[in-house]
Amino acid sequence: MPKVSGLEGIIAAETDVSLVDGINGYLVYRGYWAKELALNYSYEDAVYLLIYGCLPNREESERFASLLAANRELPAYVIDLIRGLPDDMDMMSVLRTAVSALGTSEYQWEPDDGQAIRAIGAIPSIVACRYHHVSKTDVVPSDPALGHVANYLYMLSGKNPSAAHVKALNAYFVLTMEHAMNASTFAARTIASTQSDLISAIAGAIGALKGPLHGGAPFEVIQMLNDIGAKENAGHWLRRKLEDGERIMGFGHRVYKTRDPRAEALREIAEQLTGDDAWFDFAVHVENTALTLLEQYKPGRQLYTNVEFYAAAVFRAVNLPDTLYTATFTASRVAGWSAHILEQAPVNRIFRPQSTYTGVMPTPV
């Protein structure tokens, strides 16, 4: 018999941070629909909600955004470390290593909101610093006048991003910042349960997200969209794939058996921005064509658009280098990890699941 593993269906903790209901297509952050947050609030406001349990008022929002901006600057030794790592080291390994280096003596049990804010503020700067080092381009200093997402794009390109691109990537950040007890969040809470520090827990979560079964970026979706190339090619290209028995990337999800609420929100953003960016117009057309054909070729299979399809559309539209896809996911998800670590601390009990021994027993003595 095959060995049982994976903890699927096992309840590991009670949480107020988020609800993922794949049957009904629900994604809730602390009592708010994630879709509504993505459409109407900044990433900073959504981070505030996850950490403090409520949305900020105007004064709190401005103060928190300023506080997050103030934590973007990296210590000199971390910059030196980033530059000293081998150029062929992948971005997620660099990020894991640089985040670990942040773990000075101030990061001790138990974690607090200040530690979380420093980590959330630092990660985009680590990504941008490494990107420019490998690209042999000048590092772009953070602009405190820009919001968290706009500044991330600015640090990468050196140009003020368009409002359309900021809106799209902000929605992506909000929609991917938290997703209940996924593998990386479980890793973070498990590490925190040992009374280790917040930075160790985040570094462990990065290690989990690095795995392609969890943090795999939507490369294949972008490749599909690039191969299709133009609206007039969509029907023929997709029909040929389906008739050959191949999978259409960006459709279907292990958890969501109805519409993925994250994809729905990003689609709504894309529809709003079709006049501002031709790529979004193209992506919406491909999605509509694919859904029609999937219903024809695979009736009743409930193959809806997943978040990777529109993540690909957003990343492509904002000209995000493909080497930064999973690292950008990390820059978003660190808020959810932090909220779970902070939730774990006051009710802490070490995670210690049992296993069933299936090996050979020695001869009794």
Catalytic machinery residues: 253, 308
The secondary structure of 198-259 as a DSSP string is: HHHHHHHHHHHHTSHHHH--SHHHHHHHHHH-SHHHHHHHHHHHHHTTPPPTTB--SS-SS-
Place of tokens 């993540």: 311
Question: Cα separation of 225 and 120, whole Å?
Answer: 32
DSSP single-letter state for residue 8 = T
Judge residue 65's burial from the number of C-beta atoms within 10 Å of its C-beta, 0-12 exposed, 13-18 middle, 19 or more buried: buried
What are the beta bridge partners of residue 234?
none
The secondary structure of 295-353 as a DSSP string is: HHHSTTS---B-HHHHHHHHHHHTT--GGGHHHHHHHHHHHHHHHHHHHHGGG------
DSSP single-letter state for residue 358 = -
What does the angle CA 12 – CA 15 – CA 21 come to, to the nearest 5 degrees? 85
- Which of 17, 334, 355 has its CA nearest to residue 204? 334
Longest dimension (CA), the chain: 79
User: Both tokens of residue 203?
Assistant: 């570094």
Measured in degrees and rounded to the nearest 5, phi and psi for residue 228 equal: -65, -50
Helices 325-344 & 113-135 angle (0-180, nearest 10): 170
What does the angle CA 88 – CA 90 – CA 96 come to, to the nearest 5 degrees? 130
DSSP single-letter state for residue 51 = H
User: Both tokens of residue 208?
Assistant: 């989990």
